[in-house]
Amino acid sequence: MANHSDHSHGHDEAHAHGSLKSYIVGFILSIVLTIIPLVVVLNHMLSQLPTILIIMVTAVLQFVVQLFFFMHVRERQGNQPRWNVMALIFGLAIVLVVVSGSIWIMTYNGVGY
Amino acid sequence: MAQAVSQHGHDHAHGHDHGHHDPQELKMLGFWIFLITDVVLFGTLFATYVVLHNNTAGGPTAHEIFEMPGVIAETFILLTSSFTSGLAVLAMNAGKVKQLISWLVVTWILGASFIFLEVDEFIKMVHEGFNYGTSAFATSFFTLVGTHGLHVSMGLGWMLLIMIQLARKGITDVTRGKVNVISLYWHFLDAVWIFLLSVVYLMGVM
């Protein structure tokens, strides 16, 4: 136990706050993922549905890039559970329910407004 | 949980030189949880906007009112500032306090430019007859984008105070924790902006 814990601790220290390389990679990926939807939308390259898909997919990918390369979401203390990841998943579940639920209900609401 | 406690005890028993570890890690987790509540706040504002964005009440539509060049500039400015706030943390981990403050200054200037462009954008909109009460679309737009802008503005004031403290006290366990937290906050605001750009602006003008 002591051995293992010490090992993972050392590992954390080495990778804990990321390296210059990981920040640069994250930055470049973010720029690319921003330019793709901009080019598609501003040049009207695709019809509505594929455009929305590209916008949302690149946005989610960029969110993931920020989480992993900049916010170090995987960082943790020794063998402790990743409470921050659990809280994040919980928060995202609420957002998903609130946003999709609102859209769903208001799309079929012919009376309310 | 029992494991977490034993881990805690273990670290103390061995007297690690990272005295900041436990309280700072706990603060970091606490800040993560605050960010999650912010995610939920923005989620409700996004839901409101998505539901109401077609209710223009005869006022300007998204197509007519959004000016993409300014928005694109804001996007790249905020993205770069997220990167530079990461470089500030790297400089701090290397123990270089001057470099740390310099990167925070760069981040601050970029953040201030973002706010300047956004306020300028809002003023132009109001002059074109698109203000808070014009339509449900306008209200939900200004609330959503304005809430993000307020977060960035608060972050600027906060970052200024941290820079002053760093200049006076250097890198200590306390200031280290603060820089880590504001950097996390700043990355988070950039992540929120990605969705503003996507859902509000890009889907508005497509």
Query: How many structural domains does chain B have?
Result: 1
Higher pLDDT, A6 or B24: B24
The answer to whether residues A15 and A69 belong to one domain is yes
Dist. CA B103–CA B186, nearest whole Å:
13
Q: Which pLDDT belongs to residue B181?
A: 94
Is residue B10 in a domain?
no
- Is the pLDDT at A81 greater than 70? The verdict is yes
Is residue B105 in a domain?
yes
Q: Which pLDDT belongs to residue B14?
A: 44
B90 and A23 within 8 Å at the Cβ level: the answer is yes
Q: Which pLDDT belongs to residue B12?
A: 44
Q: Which pLDDT belongs to residue B23?
A: 80
The answer to whether residues A62 and A101 belong to one domain is no
The answer to whether residues A44 and A98 belong to one domain is no
Exposure string for B130-160, b = 16+ CB within 10 A, e = fewer = beeebbbbbbbbbebbeebbebbbebbeebe
Dist. CA B106–CA B111, nearest whole Å:
9
- Is the pLDDT at A16 greater than 70? The verdict is no
Q: Which pLDDT belongs to residue B21?
A: 53
Q: Which pLDDT belongs to residue A110?
A: 67
Q: Which pLDDT belongs to residue A43?
A: 92
Domain interval for residue B82:
68-206
Is residue B43 in a domain?
no
Tokens found for residue B5: 């406690």
Percent of chain A, pLDDT > 70?
Answer: 78
Is residue B49 in a domain?
no
Dist. CA B173–CA B175, nearest whole Å:
6
Residue A8 in contact with partner chain B when CB distance is under 8 A = no
| Strand intervals (E) in B48-145 | none
Residue A62 in contact with partner chain B when CB distance is under 8 A = yes
Tokens found for residue B23: 């309280």
Is residue B150 in a domain?
yes
Q: Which of A37, A87, A98 sits opposite B36 (nearest CB)?
A: A87
A99 and B50 within 8 Å at the Cβ level: the answer is yes
The answer to whether residues A36 and A91 belong to one domain is no
Confidence check on the interface: ipTM exceeds 0.95, yes or no: no
Chain segment A47-74, per-residue pLDDT in tens: 999 999 999 999 999 999 999 999 888 7
Dist. CA A15–CA A34, nearest whole Å:
27
- CB < 8 Å to B28, chain A: 84
Query: How many structural domains does chain A have?
Result: 2
Is residue B38 in a domain?
no
The answer to whether residues A21 and A60 belong to one domain is yes
pTM: 0.85
The answer to whether residues A51 and A94 belong to one domain is no
Calculate how close chain A gets to B90, using CA atoms only, in Å: 7
The answer to whether residues A53 and A10 belong to one domain is yes
Q: How many CB atoms lie within 10 A of CB A9?
A: 21
Percent of chain A, pLDDT > 90?
Answer: 56
Is residue B182 in a domain?
yes
Cβ contacts of A42 within 8 Å, gap of 6 or more? B68, B205
Chain segment B110-131, per-residue pLDDT in tens: 999 999 999 999 999 999 999 9
Is residue B20 in a domain?
no
The gap from C-alpha B64 to its chain's centroid, in whole angstroms, comes to 28
Q: Which pLDDT belongs to residue B158?
A: 97
- Is the pLDDT at A14 greater than 50? The verdict is no
The answer to whether residues A13 and A56 belong to one domain is yes
The answer to whether residues A26 and A46 belong to one domain is yes
- Is the pLDDT at A46 greater than 70? The verdict is yes
The answer to whether residues A71 and A22 belong to one domain is yes
DSSP-assigned letter for residue A69: I
One-letter amino acid identity for B156? L
Low-confidence ranges of chain B (pLDDT < 50): 1-20
Q: Which pLDDT belongs to residue B25?
A: 81
CATH no. for residue B176? 1.20.120.80
Domain interval for residue A26:
2-80
Confidence category of residue A108, pLDDT binned at 50, 70, 90: confident
The answer to whether residues A71 and A112 belong to one domain is no
Q: Which pLDDT belongs to residue B192?
A: 96
The answer to whether residues A48 and A87 belong to one domain is no
